[in-house]
């Protein structure tokens, strides 16, 4: 049951949806000198709700020693944080300029909740844009 889908319209009256481009990680390319550059597949028009992190979310991120400017987002669909063992994840959200005063490009640092139809992710601001993963 998609509980987020049921309540999101009511929440949207207080906290409007925003649209972003999901840059889904597709691995990396390796240059001749051995340096790696992440590659992404753009998924434009992803609708989501951004909120502050809860106290419990902050404690979890603190325990993982993840620092920086953070937000929580709820979206219908999925996004992935880095799973090093499987070499997947590291998705980014790029918001239209001015959506957040801190910046536009945010890394999925941790998936806080994952359900078949929706997920809640903790995002961390990326200061120098796309190449900062």
The tens digit of pLDDT for each residue in 31-60 reads: 999 998 889 999 999 999 998 888 888 888
We find that the CATH architecture of domain 3-28+38-132 is Beta Barrel (2.40)
pLDDT of residue 133: 43
Give the tens place of pLDDT for each residue, 9-36: 667 677 789 999 999 999 888 999 999 8
Per the model's pLDDT, the better-predicted residue between 77 and 65 turns out to be: 77
pTM comes to 0.80
- Rounded distance, CA 72 to CA 62, Å? 14
Instruction: Please give the structure tokens belonging to residue 50.
Output: 């951004």
3-state secondary structure 2-52: CHHHHHHHHHHHHCCCEEEEEEEEEEEEECCCCCEEEEEEEEEEEEEEEEC
Question: Is the pLDDT reported for residue 82 higher than 80?
Answer: yes
Judge whether 42 and 113 are in contact, CB under 8 Å: no
């Amino acid at each position: 049951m998609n509980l987020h889908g049921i309540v999101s319209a009511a929440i949207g009256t207080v906290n409007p949806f925003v649209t972003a481009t999901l840059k889904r990680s597709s691995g990396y390319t390796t240059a001749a000198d051995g340096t790696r550059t992440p590659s992404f597949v753009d998924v434009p028009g992803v609708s989501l709700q951004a909120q502050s992190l809860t106290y419990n979310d902050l404690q979890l991120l603190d325990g993982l020693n993840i620092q920086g400017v953070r937000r929580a987002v709820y979206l219908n669909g999925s996004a992935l944080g880095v799973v090093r063992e499987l070499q997947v994840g590291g998705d980014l959200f790029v918001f239209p300029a001015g959506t957040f005063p801190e910046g536009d490009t945010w890394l999925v640092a941790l998936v806080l909740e994952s359900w078949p139809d929706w997920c809640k992710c903790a995002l961390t601001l990326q200061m120098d844009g796309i190449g900062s993963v």
